[in-house]
Structure 1
């Protein structure tokens, strides 16, 4: 949950160039980075920019070029309400360099275009579609045809404030009495083993979105069944947010929308209706865009584990939901996420006995914890923290 600071521009350009492989590299450089560099150089020569301004502009140009191919060039940033976290982001140079509200959070039918395919087929899951059949990816995304599949929530008029709570499953919530406060938000995100029954006073009852990978969903139903997680949240109108970590996530999504059994792969024979309830509506399904996963990993959670465990590492489910909320909502509160004193609490709020939090190679939880602390300090989100009472 942490952020790596790439403060030296010399580090940025090799990484940016490596991301663009093949015969189009030279053309891409000319169109993306070179003009920005020439402009910055021109102004610097004229003496109209300080050396610090020059470094900042050059760094930002390189970062924007890093994900330029996934940005809608004709997009305009939507008007932010007076309470929006975006105003605080604009006040901090380091935040302005990291946050981009043009990167698509979700993928759906109309986002599957040839130019995206050409770029994303060079990146492995969950960051792209490398080694994935064009037809299969296209067929799955074609099923996400409802306009609601393209956005997390309906934006209210710009003078209203959209408040979101993202609820992790950390033991810090046991005895927190935060249930009513959580339910008071406009939207509530939950993930993985989101047990509510018996813990309403601590975690609330409302669920607007449930985020997961197929692997985390199935593992949660097995691992936490005895604790009370025997089915997914099924609130009216709930949005189910798939994280495409593996091919099976695309296969499961397609079967869920079509109301059929999974035809192949490790989940062959599964009926998603048993997970999501009888015949959920198409508009209830969402799927995180690979470009968004790539963007938040590179900008916020580029852990050393990404190199050491490249085939395993990705941001945690909770981290992706929290970052998705930060790019969608006006105000975001995080509950049940890792804090400095995580060792004082059990792994989950529903643990019947004390279980220490265990770190695995597929996530960098300590980095994520540092990121939440930093964003809390910068007033981009509000992180629930408390001392353990004896």
Structure 2
């Protein structure tokens, strides 16, 4: 069991410095809708008015990054987000075999890594958004939906579904909460461990299967050998051959039509870059250092920030987190508990600062 940390409430002090935040309508606002609070008005209010290919971004996040002294130094939008077969070289193997998961391949066999990556050999695996054959959208708008209790009763479903792409993760319960969290899912992010734990822990709360769909894509976070084995088995259409998931049939999770084009794999070097630059927790230098990694939600949100033109975050930790249950789908309020494998207070500060800088929009109430 992962160790619990001090549960005393943390305070989000004002970071100071210039803020690009402006009051106004969320970019997804529609007439008569339920606009969330505190969105930069420069992001516009005509989100639903036209086809994605005909509407430029009124507030692209890359420009917001350039305008902000701190984040301009942190963001490197040229960093490869996904790992696929075309990037697997002897040099990469030599570099990453020295690093523990999720930052590398220490203790993993070359055969396991090579055989998995050789199956990720198409342009679908190379980039997050598939090429449509037509002109690229002028503005890719993404919603990343965490599972925080702040979404219960939020009525943000229509706003979420109005985005071009919707990211969900772990125990993404939809049935019964459509008005609050929407129904659209473009990407589902997970580690095998978090996916299976969610299916066990939240089964009685409505999470009985992983989201499936013809256009849905799965983003594997490679935290251990389990993720490489499950990914390889899913593409080959065979049972997992070894390890804790031996005998698992991936099609029961991802659907019978699963092929290589449905799967994305976060690059370990991308996870390392995110951790070192954005979420370098003090936990790293404690006895819990080997346990620590950014949360699944943090990795999905930062992935969106490196691939989308505009990003909205729903269900992520905010300064008044104690008002809400741990998850939006819980029938009885449960407090958010901090464990040593993630640094949620640090993540809360990052989301607040990115929101104030106008780089993302964070749902708050």
Shared fold (TM-score greater than 0.5)? yes
Instruction: Find the residue that maps to 1:226 and give its secondary structure.
Output: helix
4+ aligned runs moved over 2 Å, structure 1: 80-83, 154-159
Q: Which of 79, 101, 105 is the matching residue for 2:81? A: 105
1:322 aligned partner: 301
1:126 aligned partner: 102
Report the alpha carbon displacement of residue 88 of structure 1 after superposing the two structures with TM: 0.8
1:153 aligned partner: 129
Are residues 375 and 134 of structure 1, via their aligned partners in 2, closer, same or farther at CA, if it must alter by over 3 Å? Answer: same
Q: Is 1:280 paired with 2:258?
A: yes
Q: Which of 183, 186, 190 is the matching residue for 2:161? A: 183
Report the alpha carbon displacement of residue 236 of structure 1 after superposing the two structures with TM: 2.2
Contact 1:170/1:337 (8 A) holds in 2:
yes
Q: Is 1:201 paired with 2:179?
A: yes
Are residues 157 and 91 of structure 1, via their aligned partners in 2, closer, same or farther at CA, if it must alter by over 3 Å? Answer: farther
Instruction: Find the residue that maps to 1:97 and give its secondary structure.
Output: helix
2:218 aligned partner: 240
Q: Is 1:92 paired with 2:68?
A: yes
1:363 aligned partner: 342
Are residues 158 and 378 of structure 1, via their aligned partners in 2, closer, same or farther at CA, if it must alter by over 3 Å? Answer: farther
Contact 2:235/2:258 (8 A) holds in 1:
yes
Instruction: Find the residue that maps to 1:371 and give its secondary structure.
Output: helix
1:250 aligned partner: 228
Report the alpha carbon displacement of residue 83 of structure 1 after superposing the two structures with TM: 3.6
Please tell me the root mean square deviation across aligned C-alpha atoms, in Å. Answer: 1.6
Report the alpha carbon displacement of residue 81 of structure 1 after superposing the two structures with TM: 5.8
Report the alpha carbon displacement of residue 91 of structure 1 after superposing the two structures with TM: 1.1
Are residues 159 and 126 of structure 1, via their aligned partners in 2, closer, same or farther at CA, if it must alter by over 3 Å? Answer: closer
Report the alpha carbon displacement of residue 122 of structure 1 after superposing the two structures with TM: 1.4
Report the alpha carbon displacement of residue 93 of structure 1 after superposing the two structures with TM: 2.0
CA distance in 1, matches of 2:350, 2:135: 30
CA distance in 1, matches of 2:167, 2:112: 29
Instruction: Find the residue that maps to 1:190 and give its secondary structure.
Output: strand
TM-score, length of structure 1 as denominator length:
0.77
CA distance in 1, matches of 2:257, 2:300: 25
TM-score, length of structure 2 as denominator length:
0.82
1:291 aligned partner: 269
2:149 aligned partner: 171
Q: Is 1:383 paired with 2:359?
A: no
Contact 2:354/2:360 (8 A) holds in 1:
yes
Structure 1: gaps spanning 5 or more residues: 6-79
CA distance in 2, matches of 1:346, 1:81: 34
Are residues 186 and 159 of structure 1, via their aligned partners in 2, closer, same or farther at CA, if it must alter by over 3 Å? Answer: closer
Contact 2:77/2:306 (8 A) holds in 1:
yes
Report the alpha carbon displacement of residue 158 of structure 1 after superposing the two structures with TM: 6.3
Q: Which of 249, 271, 283 is the matching residue for 1:305? A: 283
Q: Which entry has the higher C-alpha Rg, 1 or 2?
A: 1
Per-residue deviation, residues 89-120 of structure 1 (Å, max 9, x unmatched): 01122111100011111101101112211211
Report the alpha carbon displacement of residue 307 of structure 1 after superposing the two structures with TM: 2.0
Contact 1:81/1:159 (8 A) holds in 2:
no
1:117 aligned partner: 93
Q: Which of 327, 331, 336 is the matching residue for 1:348? A: 327
CA distance in 1, matches of 2:356, 2:57: 21
Are residues 255 and 93 of structure 1, via their aligned partners in 2, closer, same or farther at CA, if it must alter by over 3 Å? Answer: same
Report the alpha carbon displacement of residue 137 of structure 1 after superposing the two structures with TM: 0.4
Contact 1:82/1:159 (8 A) holds in 2:
no
Structure 2: gaps spanning 5 or more residues: 1-11, 16-55
1:266-277 matches, within 5 Å, as: 266-277=244-255
1:373 aligned partner: 352
More helix by share: 1
